């Protein structure tokens, strides 16, 4: 495990199963991480909406609702109309607020000079916490990983220290677990020559779909 051959086998299997996507296809994600593009204000808002919807839902469900909501916003739908589409007041309210302020929010994001500053700004947006900020930053083209529950489990497996499992927390990242996650990504980035953010997507999808054994 945790070598280039293992990683490329996972990637190949995901592609064969038609699971090679997050908000975009694997190829689009890899290209965006290698050659980041500045998004329009509308597309920035769309990216925010996707990660808000993705929390707690399957990718298939999130993508379906995301498409409907984004189309409705572009047609001028108000908050009540969005709630009729998706009955989650907090998420819909956050998506609508970001859409209404998309020009200011996107301008402020692209004005940030460092990755840390970008992450802090994204985490301040409605319904975007620290973990989700990493997901959003990656989707915006930052070569960063999302330390969600699956990646933390992989970090513990990489550490070969099952005792760390009790510290896995999707809300508060344990520094020791983060250390092993970072070591795992550094090793795989060196051996595969791929961006860490792309490796993150492949590992996350593989773990989520049961392709990696031994996760607790």
Tokens of 74: 């572009």
pLDDT in tens, 147-183: 989 999 999 999 999 999 999 998 889 999 999 999 9
* Domain annotation covers residue 214: no
75-80: long-range contacts, CB 8 A cutoff, minimum separation 24: none
For all residues of the chain together, what is the average pLDDT? 93
Domain boundary pick from 120, 139, 158: 139
Task: Give pTM, 2 decimals.
Answer: 0.86
pLDDT of 59 higher than 80: no
* Domain annotation covers residue 110: yes
Residue numbers of the domain that contains 8: 4-33+146-208
Domain boundary pick from 117, 139, 161: 139
Same domain, 89 and 122: yes
Confidence of residue 60 (pLDDT cuts 50, 70, 90): confident
Query: What percent of the chain lies above the pLDDT cut of 70?
Result: 98
Domain boundary pick from 79, 106, 139: 139
Same domain, 164 and 188: yes
């Amino acid at each position: 495990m945790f070598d280039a051959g293992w990683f490329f086998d996972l990637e190949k299997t995901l592609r064969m199963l038609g699971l090679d996507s997050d908000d975009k296809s694997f190829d689009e994600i890899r290209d965006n991480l290698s050659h980041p593009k500045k998004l329009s204000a509308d597309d920035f808002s769309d990216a925010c909406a996707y990660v808000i919807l993705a929390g707690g839902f399957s990718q298939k469900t999130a993508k379906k609702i995301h498409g409907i909501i984004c189309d409705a916003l572009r047609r001028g739908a108000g908050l009540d109309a969005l709630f009729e589409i998706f009955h989650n007041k907090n998420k819909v309210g956050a998506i609508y607020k970001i859409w209404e302020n998309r020009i200011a929010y996107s301008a402020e994001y692209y004005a940030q000079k460092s990755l840390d500053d970008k992450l802090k700004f994204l985490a301040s947006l409605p319904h975007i916490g620290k973990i989700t900020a990493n997901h959003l930053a990656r989707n915006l083209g930052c070569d960063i990983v999302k330390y969600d529950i699956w990646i933390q489990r992989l970090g513990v497996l990489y550490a070969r220290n099952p005792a760390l499992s009790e510290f896995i927390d999707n809300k508060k990242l344990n520094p020791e677990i983060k250390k092993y996650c970072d070591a795992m990504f550094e090793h795989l980035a060196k051996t595969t020559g791929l961006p860490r953010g792309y490796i993150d997507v492949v590992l996350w999808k593989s773990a989520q779909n049961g392709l990696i054994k031994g996760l607790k």
